[in-house]
Structure 1
Amino acid sequence: MRLKPVSRVRSAAHRRALSGLLAVSLLVLAACGSESSDADEGSASLSSVTVEGKQGEAPEVTFDGRLDPSKTETDVVIEGDGEDVAAGDTVEAQWWIGNGYTEKETQSTFEGEPQSLELGDEVLPFLTDTMVGHKVGDRILALIPSDKAFGKFGGARFGIGNRDAAVIVVDIMGRSDTVPPPPTVPPLDGPQGEEKKPAGWAPTLLEQDGIITGLDFTEAHKPTGELIATTLIKGDGAKVKSGQTLIVNYLGQVYDAEAPFDESYTGEPAEFPIGVGSVIAGWDERLVGRTVGSRVILEIPPNKGYGEEGNADAGIKGTDTLFFVIDILGVSEAD
C-alpha cells in the first residue's frame, strides 16, 4: 500500500508509514545479533565500567568484565547545572553505545554535531528513559538490557544482541522550551543543488524517461564491508537533523543483483523519522547532517543493514551488501 502524495495533509499515522516494501525492508528490523548462552552471560555491574573525558567530547569507556544483561542501572558521571529535562522536551544531545558482552563500541554520534530530538514516542527507549529527569550538562552512564533499551525488536541494528547488555553514555547538551513549528516549505519534486562527481566505487544509475530504474554494477568495486557514501548532488536546502521526518525518493538494490528489491520513484515519496532507529543504521548514520535537495548513493554492509538474519521478505540474505540511491526532498518535525 502506497502513501498518499506528499503534498496532501497527513495524519500522524500516515506520516509514520512507508510505501510498499519499504515498511518491511527498512522499518521491520529483525532482532538478530549475538545469542549468548546463559552460561556465557556476564555478572559485572555498572560500577565495573569507567568513563573518562569531558562532557560534550567522545568518552573513553573501559570495561572490567562482562556486564549482567538483566540489570538496569544508571549513574551521573558528570553533573550539570542546567535545566531539568522532561518528556516532550526538545533536547540537544550526544550519545555513545557499547556492547556489555563484547566490551566494544557499536555506535557514537560524537563525531558530528549534537543531535536535536524531541523526547517521546518517536525516540528509542534508551534515549528518553536515560535523559528524562536529568539536567542539561549531565553525562549519564546507563546499563540497560537490550529489549528495554531498544524496544521489542532488540538492538541488532546497534550491534547489541538479544541477550546482551547495552552500555549507554549520554551527554545532555541543551534544551529548548518550545518545539519549532513544522516548516512551510513544500517538498521538492527532485534533487536540487550542486552536481558532484560520484566516487569511483559507485554503481551507475540506470534511468528511463528521467526516472531511476536500477543500478549497474559493471564498473563498481566489490563491497568493502564498510559503510560508505558518495554525493551526486549536494542539496542547497536545510540540514537534516535527528528526530525529523524525512521525505525521500529512493531505490535499493543488492550488490550485483539484476533488479532492485524496492523503490519509490514510480510511486510516491516515502516519509519516516530519521536518526532515531526507525530505519536501518546505515540510513540513520549517513543521512543525518545532509541537506535537502541532495542525491546520495549509500553502500551498506550487513551489520549496518539487517544483520546476519537478513530480510527474507525483501529477498535479502545476511551476507548481502545493499546499495541505495536516495533523493532527500524535504524534512519536517516529527508529530
Structure 2
Amino acid sequence: MSSFQTPETTTPRRRRRLLPLVSLGVAGLFLATACASGQDDTPEPHEDAASASQSAAPERAAVGEGQGEPDALEGLSFSEGEDGAPSVEVDGELATDQPTTRVLTAGEGDQVKEGDVLKMSIAVVDPASGDVLAENFTGDPESVPVDQQLKSMNPEMHDLLVRNGVGSVVAAYSPEREVPAPPADGASPSASPSTQTQPAQLFVYKIESILPTQAQGEEVTERDERLPEVTVQDGRPVIATPEGEAPETLVVQPLIQGEGREVAAEDAVTVHYTGVTWSDGSTFDSSWESGSPFTFSPSRPVIEGWMTGLEGQRVGSRVLLSIPSEQAYGEQGTPTGDLKNEDLLFVVDILDAQAPAPQN
C-alpha cells in the first residue's frame, strides 16, 4: 500500500524464548538471496488473485520433498509438546552447501493458494544441536501473505507453500556463507566492500490455518444515511459514488460485525480495503485489486483515520470509514502529491489482529 504508509521457559534440553513478530521475508529471506543459482532472474508478469485462483492447483508436496538437497535434512525430526512447544532432533550433520527445504509433515488441511493469508508458527533452531532458540508455537502464529511480494523475495518458499496444506511442517536450512558486511563507521564510500560469515541457519515452519479473505459475521442493518451504499460485486465490496457533503468528523460505520478479538492500538492488523475520494468517488487504492492484503502496525503506521477508526473493531468485521482530510493526508497529500485536502472513504475488511509478543 503505497500511501499508508517474552518470558523465558526452561525445558530439559534447552532454553528458548518466545519469538517476537517476524515476517517470513525476515526469517526465511536467505532462500531468496542464496537459492537456485543459474535460474532465470527475469521478473514474471504480474498475476492478479483472480487469475491465480483460476489456475490449476499444483500437486501437493509429499514428506521428503523440497528444494536444494532435501535428503540432506532427512535426519531432522519434529514434534510438539502438550503445551505446543516445538522440539527438533538432528540425527547427524546437515551435510549440504545449498540452501535447502524439506517437508517434514504433509498437512491434510486445505491446500494453500496464491492470495491466501496463512497463520504460521515459526521456530529458529540451532542446526548443530537441534536446540530451539526462539519460537512462537506457544504464542500467536504469524500472518504471512502468499502473494507476489513473497514470490519475488522468496520464490522457493512461495512455491513450497502453495504445494502444502494446513498442518504441514517445513524445515528450511541455509549453510554457512559469506555475506556483505555493513560499512564501518567513517568508512570511505570508495572503500572496497568487505564480507562477514553468516552462520548456518535452520527454521521450522508450520501452517496453522488459512485466514478468511473477507469479513465473516452478522450484517449490520442500522446505517448512517450520510454515507454511500456499499454493495458486493464479484465477492468484493464496492462503494457507490458519494453524494452531498462529506461529514466534518471521522465516521465509523460497521457493515458486518465480526466475532474475533478487538483490534488494539499496538496490534499488527491485516486487512483488505478499497479507498475512494469523497469528491468524485474515484478509486485511488485497493488491496482487492492488487490481490494482496495489507498489514499495518505501530512500526508501519497508517493515516490517523485508520488508526482511530479501526481500533476497537473486531476481527471479521467490515467497516466503512469516512475520513476528513485532516485525518487523512491533509494539505501535504501523499508522498507523490496526490489526495491533497481530500476527504476519503474506505471500506475495510479486518482479517486478523495480532498482539506483539511479550518482551524478555
TM-score, normalising length: structure 1: 0.43
Say which one has the larger Rg.
2
